[in-house]
Amino acid sequence: MKAELKNKMWLFVMIGIVLAFILYNLFWLCWRNIRYNGYTKNLKTFREHYSYVLTADDGYLFNVKLPDYLSFTGNLCVATPDDKIALIIWPNVFKDYHYGVQVEKDGEVYSIEVNEKLESKKTEYNDLIDENKNTIQLLREKAADMWEASER
């Protein structure tokens, strides 16, 4: 009788784990589609269900990378025509964003996390951000123009 009860208990535990995994997958799939579909609307498919791109008439590159399977981290990117400066935007799970900038200077690429005001979170990069402030602000404006309607 105890062995039979143990077997039933294991069965319920296994069913619970499988159901939880299925529910988590459904939540993730729905969330990813709701959060990212608006961002990919005007872009061309680079890799189906993974990456979307658009090179605008003025040469600026727009990119959306969807979150990997069961991950909540994807990103939006706007890069200058010469690929020297890029603004990377990480949508948070439900709203708001985190920002980063990649700047190429003297053959080296710097990846810098910035706040909402586009100021470096590390003081060692303040000069590099200040040198490129206008371009970074322009990239943010282009991102807003491209994806602002998607936020609603």
**Ordered per-residue pLDDT tens for the chain, 152 residues:** 677 777 888 999 999 999 999 999 999 999 999 999 889 988 999 888 889 999 999 999 999 999 999 999 999 999 999 999 999 999 998 888 999 999 999 999 999 999 999 999 999 999 999 999 999 999 999 999 999 744 43
Burial (CB < 10 A; 0-12, 13-18, 19+), residue 93, is exposed
Whole-prediction pTM: 0.85
- Tell me how far apart the alpha carbons of residues 148 and 131 are, in angstroms, rounded to a whole number: 27
CA 8 to chain centre: 43
Q: What's the CA gap between 74 and 93, in Å, rounded?
A: 10
Q: Please give the residue range of the domain that contains residue 83.
A: 2-151
Give me the residue label for tokens 């997958």.
Answer: 25
Q: How many domains does the chain have?
A: 1
